Chain A
Amino acid sequence: MADYAFTTIWQIAAPVTPIWTAITAVERWPQWWRGVEAVIRLRDGDRRGVGAIHRYTWKSKLPYRLSFTMETTHVEPLQRIEGHARGELQGTGRWTFSETAQGTTVRYDWHVSTTKAWMNLVAPLARPFFVWNHDVVMAWGHDGLIRLLATAPGARDQAVA
């Protein structure tokens, strides 16, 4: 199995609340996050969303799709969300949010391993492409979020690239 550890940091000139709202409404990601083909709820969570399970399907520049489920394991409103991935990727993801003088710092840590046989087999050759692919998808997410914040009602004055 091939292991990958990614950390992505977005500096966004907007307060944390609309960002939190956008990121936690995962079923709406396909509307603004290029690369997210589908997010389907498989199980509801509790009042905070803990225990919810969603199935994600991703497609970016490389000619294949990735599909896995995420179970939300931990939620601290406006600060942190953690989840557990199972499927073609397996591991943990963690969003952390912190407000700064300039806006909000959003950090995503993604520690996963690939379970698909071909992905493991070609990892020695293709690892840089998988890494690049992840970076592309995260960049699309960043751009999509900025656009979303700029058009969301009430957020017009908050969004800056």
Chain B
Amino acid sequence: MATPSATSHALVLGASMAGLLTARVLSKHFAQVTIVERDVVPDQPEARKGQPQTRHLHGLLASGLEIMTRYYPDLPDALAAGGALVIDMTANMCWYTYGGYRRRFTMGRKGALMSRPFLEHLIRQRTLARDNVTLLDSCAIRGLVTGDDRRRITGVRVEHRDAQSLAATLTADLVVDCTGRGSQTPQWLLALGYPAPPQSEVKVNVGYATRLYRRDPADPRGQDWLLYTPEAPGERRFGGMFPIEGERWIVSLGGWTGDHAPTDEQGFLEYARSLPMPEIYALISQAEPLSDIIPHKFPASLRRHYERLTRFPEGYLVLGDAVCSFNPTYGQGMTSAAMQAAALDELLTLRMGRLDGLARAFFKRAAQVIDTPWQLAVGEDFRFPDTTGPKPAGVDLLNRYVAAVHRATLVDPVVGAAFIRVMNLLAPPLSLMSPAMLLRVLRGASQRRAPAVARGVERGVPS
């Protein structure tokens, strides 16, 4: 069948952020949507075994929040009611980088600060509240099911974790793999006689450690978010301290290329003290810890280029971290997943639900969505000489310019606003190269670097 009918059924593999958003989108286009998840899915804001990254620092970029609000209109209110900060992030920004604080300004767009499990809980509640969405948890996926000619995926084989180990086949008109980075799709494709997607892997060897602290909302600093990012490659460490629900701080400290934060009390504090920005250490050395110190390692960003495949089965898609898992320090994962889900929605609307040839069209759009955050993340990663992997063309050139942009954001809030819009995936990176912006960046960067020779800019920026 080519067009979803009154009995049409979509299967979403994985009940994490990408899976939930995809299920929400598909509930508009299919009569029934079933989410299949390997783990037990809790009915409260907590991290599951299979998603260790959710216990660490998360922020929801403005573009991500805006897309999610389209699908869950009460989300900002529910976040705020639960104690999360839904704010114009640039007004509460305390971001130290390249030897100074980025200038604050009002962007007029809101993002959200909360724990990832809380956000996911709200998204999950709202997705599962849809009449035609069902969750099947504790259910491992054992493989894909196809028609005799293997041209179309018709369902998946699953095995329930219960004592009976019930094995079953679920059939669907469309199956979407949202199982994250550990996705089995490349192996499944090979087993069915299809090529696996080419991969880009960029090794960054990032490691960080996270701890929760009590936050005093009456403290004048208690509404700010604090971030330190390094002037690479000389500096390698970063630190983030965000106010979250439950009157808590979440603090993640870490570094690139193996300079990871320790998980013992003293080592963690010393690591915080080593950052050029004093606020994080000042706050956590006084605050009451509410958790252990939990480590997380992120060896490499991984992108699977499904858009380059010429042969791919009908009735099947891959979305989210299963397509591209970014270095999490740039905070673009959830927003990228939301943008991919929204792209799928637009595509299904445009095609009036027609599924034939959907994969090729979707992967092309997903690649466009992923290109910008991938270039931003990988571009920064390649400032470290130890970073290895396929280096996009022009990265060195761009990085020299972006370093000047970073410096200019310390003195010029207009450059700061343009940069934050790009980081928030609200504007394309080339918007930083308009004539007006080039002039401001040049002026800003040279002001900081050599204030005494501001009149000599035509002669070049000292570097």
A and B, one complex? yes
In contact, B435 and A125 (Cβ under 8 angstroms): no
Q: Which of A24-32, A58-66, A142-150 contacts B (4 or more CB under 8 A)?
A: A58-66
Measured in the bound complex, the distance between the Cα atoms of B439 and A126 in whole Å is: 10
Residues of B within 8 A of A129 (CB): 397, 401, 433
Q: Once bound together, how far apart are the Cα atoms of A29 and B430, in whole Å?
A: 25
What is the minimal beta-carbon distance from A79 to any residue of chain B, in angstroms?
A: 34
Among A64, A119, A120, point to the contact of B434 (Cβ < 8 A): A64
Contact between chains at A122 and B439 (CB < 8 Å): yes
Chain A, residues 44-65, CB within 8 Å of chain B (1/0): the string is 0000000000000000011110
CA distance A6 to B76 in the complex (A): 53
The number of chain B residues with a CB under 8 A from chain A is: 21
Contact of A122 with B438 in the complex, beta carbons under 8 Å: yes
Cα A121 to Cα B442 in complex, Å, equals: 9
Contacts A121-B442, A125-B445 supplied; 11 other A-B pairs, CB < 8 Å: A118-B435, A119-B435, A121-B439, A122-B438, A124-B460, A124-B461, A125-B401, A125-B438, A125-B442, A128-B401, A132-B394
Q: Which of B394, B435, B445, B457 has the most CB of A within 10 A?
A: B435
Closest to A2 in B: B458
Tell me which residues across on chain A come within 8 A of B397, comparing CB atoms: 128-129, 132
Of B394, B431, B458, the contact of A63 (CB 8 Å cutoff): B431
Contact of A124 among B430, B431, B435, B442 (CB under 8 A): B442
CA distance A123 to B438 in the complex (A): 9
- 21 A–B contacts, CB within 8 A, in A order: A61-B430, A62-B430, A62-B433, A63-B431, A63-B433, A64-B434, A64-B435, A118-B438, A120-B458, A122-B438, A123-B458, A124-B442, A124-B461, A125-B401, A125-B441, A126-B401, A126-B433, A126-B438, A126-B442, A128-B400, A129-B401
Residues of chain B within 8 A (CB-CB) of A132 are 394, 397
Chain B nearest CB: distance from A124 CB in Å? 4
Assess the B458–A124 pair: CB atoms within 8 A: yes
Q: In whole angstroms, what is the CA distance A124 to B463 when docked? A: 11
Taking CB atoms and an 8 Å cut-off, the chain A residues in 58-105 that contact chain B are 61-64
B62-82 near A? 1/0 per residue, CB < 8 Å: 000000000000000000000
A128 vs B431: C-alpha distance in the bound complex, in angstroms? Answer: 17
Q: How many Å lie between the Cα of A138 and that of B131 in the bound state? A: 55
User: Using Cβ atoms and an 8 Å threshold, which residues of chain B touch A63?
Assistant: 430-431, 433-434
Q: B455 in the interface, Cβ–Cβ < 8 Å?
A: no
Query: In the bound complex, do residue B433 and residue A124 qualify as a contact, i.e. CB atoms below 8 Å apart?
Result: no
What distance in Å separates the Cβ of A58 from its nearest Cβ neighbour in chain B? 15
Contact A121 B404 (CB under 8 A): no
A125 and B401 alpha carbons, distance in the complex (Å): 7
The chain B residue sitting closest to A118, CB to CB, is B435
Which of B400, B439, B460 contacts A118, CB < 8 Å? B439
Chain A residue with minimal CB distance to B440? A122
Determine the distance from Cα of A99 to Cα of B457 in the docked complex, in whole angstroms. 46
Chain A residue numbers with a CB within 8 Å of B438 are 118, 122, 125-126
B459 within 8 A of A: yes
* B399 → A minimal CB distance (Å): 11
By a CB distance below 8 angstroms, the chain A residues around B460 are: 124
Restricting to A106-131, which residues have a CB under 8 Å from any CB of B? 118-126, 128-129
For chain A, the count of residues having a C-beta within 8 Å of the partner chain is 16
1/0 per position for B123-145, CB-CB distance to A under 8 A? 00000000000000000000000
CB-CB under 8 A for A125 and B404, given A118-B439, A132-B397? yes
Bound complex: CA A62 to CA B442 (Å)? 17
Alpha-carbon separation in the docked complex, A50 to B433 (Å): 37
B residues 405-443 with Cβ under 8 Å of A? 430-431, 433-436, 438-439, 441-442
Q: Is the CB of B394 within 8 A of A121?
A: no
In the assembled complex, the Cα of A61 lies from the Cα of B439 at a distance in Å of 18
**Roughly how many angstroms separate A63 CA and B434 CA in the complex, as a whole number?**
5
* Residues of chain A within 8 A of B436, CB atoms compared: 118
Expressed in whole angstroms, the Cα–Cα distance for A144 and B178 within the complex equals 39
Please report the C-alpha to C-alpha distance between residue A107 and residue B459 in the assembled complex, in whole angstroms: 32
Which residue on A lies nearest to B437, using beta carbons?
A63
Give the docked Cα–Cα distance between A132 and B212 (Å).
Answer: 47
Q: Measured between alpha carbons, how far is A131 from B202 in the docked complex, in Å?
A: 28
Contacts of B430 in A (CB 8 A): 61-63
Q: In the complex the two chains form, what is the Cα distance from A44 to B394 in whole Å? A: 41
Question: Measured between alpha carbons, how far is A61 from B445 in the docked complex, in Å?
Answer: 24
The residue in chain B whose Cβ has the minimal distance to the Cβ of A133 is: B433
Per-position contact with A for B286-306: 1 when CB-CB < 8 Å, else 0? Answer: 000000000000000000000
* Cβ contacts under 8 Å, A61 to chain B: 430
Q: How far is the CB of B436 from chain A (nearest CB, A)?
A: 8
| Chain A residues in 8 Å Cβ range of B435 | 64, 118-119, 122
User: Chain A contacts of B439 at CB under 8 A?
Assistant: 118, 121-122
**A123 vs B394: C-alpha distance when bound (angstroms):** 18
Determine the distance from Cα of A123 to Cα of B435 in the docked complex, in whole angstroms.
11
In the complex, A118 Cα to B457 Cα: how many Å? 12
A10 to chain B, nearest CB (A): 19
CA distance A123 to B457 in the complex (A): 10
Q: CA–CA, A123 to B460, complex, Å? A: 8
Known interface pairs A118-B439, A132-B397; A124-B434 also in contact (CB < 8 Å)? no
Which of chain A's residues has its CB closest to B461's CB? A124
Give which listed residue, B400, B433, B434, B457, contacts A121 with CB less than 8 A.
Answer: B457
Nearest first, the 6 closest Cβ-Cβ pairs linking A and B are A124-B460, A122-B438, A63-B434, A118-B435, A125-B442, A128-B397
Residues of B within 8 A of A126 (CB): 401, 433, 438, 442
A124, B441: Cβ atoms closer than 8 Å: no
